[in-house]
Chains A and B, each alone.
Chain A
Amino acid sequence: MMQPQILLLKEGTDTSQGKPQLISNINACQSVVDAVRTTLGPRGMDKLIVDKKGKSTISNDGATIMKLLDIVHPAAKSLVDIAKSQDAEVGDGTTSVVLLAGEFLKQIKPYVEEGVHPRIIIKAVRRSLQLCLDKINELAIKINKANATEFHSLLQKCAATAMSSKLIHQQRDFFSKMVVDAVLHLDELLPLNMIGIKKVQGGALEDSVLVAGVAFKKTFSYAGFEMQPKVYNNCKIALLNIELELKAERDNAEIRVDNVKEYQKIVDAEWNILYQKLQKIHESGANVVLSKLPIGDVATQYFADRDMFCAGRVPEEDLKRTLKACGGAVMTTVHDLNDSVLGKCEYFEERQIGGERFNFFKGCPNAKTCTMILRGGAEQFLEETERSLHDAIMIVRRTIKNDAVVAGGGAIEMELSRMLRDYSRTIAGKEQLLIGAIAKALEIIPRQLCDNAGFDATNILNKLRQKHAQNHCWYGVDVNKEDISDNMEACVWEPAIVKVNALTAATEATCLILSVDETIKNQKSGDAPPAMGRGMGRPM
């Protein structure tokens, strides 16, 4: 009889279903977690990742590593997502969030294998999350914003904690002050792009400076630039979006002349247009001219003759920050150029830093912006420093916006773990075991901190459990003494929002992975279907 060949799904479609699928998803996540596990904490190690293009990156930042790993496993991808989401929402704690999600899954895996229904597990996980969040809110210490110096020192502590796990932890006191100062310069919206970070190779990390105002690298300049003055006091700045060069007025314009005289007039007119522009700028009283578009050599010469400074092809973000700092407006036309649209600053100079020349604008009337100039050795080192500072800046911003802190160094996790364990003993049913498992999973943070520092984790965790059982809720790992300490007093502080978001994101990812029981992979369109062998005796 003729064998029919009818397929339900397209050829090449891959399906897998059931509990083995769930277990394999969990295993995949586990191996991703292993990749970032050792980066946690002050004694965590960095990773060197070489991407497809051969560009190497050295990083300790969980989100950066996860992004570069280029994971294709569908379930493990959600771990990348939560790291990104933590990065977006808080900016730090990206390693913790991945680690927590992985550990939740690891502790739950035995129950899945035993056949507990995933939905029951999900319910228990969500319940634990709710309990943890309530506990964090209850424990978190509110910041008193009234006292400026106290507030400042508190923010510094948060920034220092964030930086203690990074490459620059040696200089964390130096940088934490810098970061807090930088953030406090901003207006109440705390826009991140108003903190410029410039990197100059060479020098030591301590040579880095914070400029209350704007600084950017000298732009490309034409002949005549050398004659321009490089220092001004109380200068006026014209911010332009005009090309100061001889150029075609309009692309599709055509000039028809019938005699030589008229031709000369046209040539003169072109020059006139340029000179008129330059004259208008000069008449407005500006000393410094910045433009997004190029400033040609005629213009450079013209300004030099009149003791003015100019810089063309200024990057847009730098121009925007100058605008924020010095006031005024970016002009697209020279006709309205007057005093009200000029920016002002007390002091302008061009100065050498390392191998680069920089333009500095200081003493700006509304300094809602600032610039960090980072110094250091290797390029990758500087890049990692920038990422670390970014994390610290984000932490400070979040702390200002949500003013509550908890103790870091695994203290809050231990306390949550104790609370969940105590709670689980008061309820009956499967949830008891599951909440107990979550309680155990939370201990991964202090445990990993110890492991990475080379301590005996079992020993230290036992000490911590004892302290927490005696209601010393802020005891955590002390990496300097290889012991435990009250981290609230030791000033290892983190914003509560970091922990809240990390726990929430880890829980959501756990629930998502647990709720999947089947993967169906369609063949990518465009690929040829696998060669199909025809059986014996089948008609053509």
Chain B
Amino acid sequence: MLKIPQVGFNSMLKKGAQSFSGLEEAVLRNINACIELTELTRTSLGPFGMNKIIINQIEKLFVTKDASTIVKELSVEHPAARIIVLASQQQDREIGDATNFVIIFAGELLKQALSLFQLGLHPNDVITGFNDACEKALTSLGDLECYRLKNFKDVDEVAKCLKTSIGSKQYGYEDFLARLVARACVDVCPASHQRFNVDNIRVTKIPGGSILDSSIVNGMVLQRAVEGTITHVEDAVVAVYSCPVDISRTETKGTVLIRTGKELENFSNNEEAALEQIIREISLSGINVVVTGSQIGDMALHFCEKYCIMVVRVQSKFDLRRLSNAIGATPLARLGAPMAEEVGRCDSIKLTEIGDENVVLFSQNKSTVVSTIILRGATSNILDDTERAIDSAVNTYKQLSRDARMIPGAAASELELARMVNQYGTSILGLSQYAVKSFAKAFEVIPTTLAHNAGKNSSELLSKMHAVHSSGSVWDGLDVNDDGVSLCNAKDVGILDLLIAKHYAIRLATEAATTILSIDQIIMARKSGGPKPRDNPNWDED
């Protein structure tokens, strides 16, 4: 058979490029890929969601139900599905919580869009309708507010707001962990709570014990031993050096020129004397602890011991910065006695053993800038996953300082939004009415999934919730603890979600969905450097 030259669009492209166009080939296929992705994370939603084991390409093991971690480590390749992944990562960066909501909701919107296309609607109608409905949903979100955090320094009140965020990830430990995180946050929260920095809450993971053995330290914890023999200092005055504590050496390569025997004899004596002089000066300025971000020489250590100075090495540059921040010291780039305003103060620095790890605790008695949660747990996977739960709780506190409004959780607000948007839908004219109503319907995926994951009848739940909500109790959500399908007042049992998190999540999900819907053609260039096509016995002779 003769080779027929390619015609049409593909002939313009390089060999090996692929292109797909039209509703059937591009849009529907994209939607299907995205739905497949959301099916993956759906089972992880809510307190009864399941964990996933993910082994990423560098063979690292994750056991988690944190959606943003799952999709990040999955290395999703499909271009449309990646848009959803990016949306959830955006949510992770912006809010640090409710990432699974973004994925599931976007997937459900696409599913709804699928049936609209089957009705014959044009993608543009659907997109306008979705955008319209999204605006409506976001404005009505404000009406759902059921609680507002007033006192940012009250541990109990803060813990109440953080409980839901942890409960959805570490169900069973939410009360304990919420209090722990709340205490840590309250301790480090500056007077004007807008300036709270999530970086000031550190988590130190030490295997052994159980999660309930976790504790909190007002200050920093370093996972290494001290250098010298002094292991405990109260009322420490600390000098922080980012340079090596040793005899100073030149960067430029040079040689020491010795001319006479006398010079040779005195050489190392002078060097020793010079170093001792420096350490003595440091000691005289009241310093009793030296922290270095680099090496400490044997000789320098010896003199530090002589002048009763405790020596701690910090290897990470970031930890050194945080430590300086925590004790109020300025890291010095040059060895020498620090100025009065450059020294840091710490009420107690001591070496202790937790599990079988040596740690140095820098703790302050009263106020502190950095707070560390010492997390205990039986396996490293549990520790990693609990750390993620703590991270999202800390982020929740951060978001609370931006916007203190809370809305009911347990799917109560989603159902109420569904009702509101649906009502709005009936009031508008035109084809976008269908899209608005579908948008409303998409909200129902949250109660359905929650019920599904908890092993309950979702249709029964939906009908019950609709009935209760239309009779006015809009704060009723699913009670996962009860055996049957029953409802509880989310506000009373303390299941509270961040309003701002929902706000961003709905917007990001809608944007991701509409972006995917607006694509009508996919063109993929051939991957460069791929493996050579092999001989295939099934090939036609051409």
Interface residues of A (CB under 8 A from B): 2, 4-10, 13, 74-75, 77-78, 81-82, 84-89, 91, 117-120, 122-123, 126, 189, 191-192, 241, 249-250, 252-257, 262, 265-270, 272-273, 276, 323, 329-333, 335-336, 429, 501, 504-509, 511-512, 515-525, 528-529, 531, 533-537, 539-540
Contact = CB atoms under 8 A, between A and B. Distances in A.
A270 B52 CA distance: 68
B255 A82 contact: no
B5 interface: no
B77 to A, nearest CB: 5
Given A119-B48, A254-B256, A255-B264, A518 B43 contact: yes
Contacts of A516: 50-53, 63
B76 interface: yes
Is chain A's binding surface mostly helix, strand, loop or mixed? Answer: mixed
Q: Which 8 A-B pairs have the closest CB atoms?
A: A81-B379, A89-B208, A269-B261, A265-B261, A332-B302, A517-B50, A505-B378, A504-B210
Contacts of A521: 54-55
A4 B20 contact: yes
Nearest to A122: B172
18 contacts: A4-B20, A6-B29, A6-B522, A7-B77, A8-B76, A75-B53, A81-B379, A85-B379, A126-B172, A252-B253, A254-B258, A273-B265, A518-B53, A520-B74, A522-B54, A524-B59, A531-B531, A537-B540
Interface residues of B, number: 88
Contact of A88 (B25, B356, B536): B356
A265 B265 CA distance: 10
Contact of A508 (B29, B171, B210, B533): B210
B211 interface: yes
A6 B253 contact: no
Given A250-B267, A522-B75, 14 more contacts: A87-B356, A88-B356, A88-B357, A120-B455, A241-B298, A253-B258, A269-B261, A272-B261, A323-B229, A333-B272, A504-B378, A519-B54, A519-B55, A539-B10
Contacts of B25: 4
A140 B380 CA distance: 30
Interface stretch (B33-41, B332-340, B366-374): B33-41
B343 to A, nearest CB: 26
Contact of A540 (B15, B51, B269, B455): B15
B264 A269 contact: yes
Contacts of B20: 2, 4
A402 B220 CA distance: 26
A525 B29 CA distance: 28
B365 to A, nearest CB: 22
Nearest to A331: B302
A269 B53 contact: no
A504 B54 contact: no
A262 B63 CA distance: 73
Contacts of B79: 6
Given A189-B353, A265-B261, A329 B37 contact: no
Interface string B346-360: 000000010111000
Interface of B: 10, 15-16, 18, 20, 25, 29, 33, 36-37, 40, 43, 47-48, 50-59, 61, 63, 65, 73-79, 81, 171-172, 207-212, 229, 253-262, 264-265, 267-269, 272, 298-299, 301-302, 305-306, 353, 355-357, 377-382, 454-455, 483, 522, 524, 531, 533-534, 536, 538-540
Given A81-B379, A252-B254, A531 B209 contact: no
A123 B305 CA distance: 53
B313 to A, nearest CB: 16
B443 to A, nearest CB: 24
A249 B533 contact: no
B379 A78 contact: yes
A272 B261 CA distance: 10
A507 B378 CA distance: 9
A323 B305 CA distance: 13
B305 A329 contact: yes
Contacts of B259: 255-257, 262
Contacts of B357: 88
B258 A255 contact: yes
Contacts of B61: 74, 77
Contacts of B255: 252-254
Given A265-B260, A332-B302, A534 B378 contact: no
B40 A241 contact: no
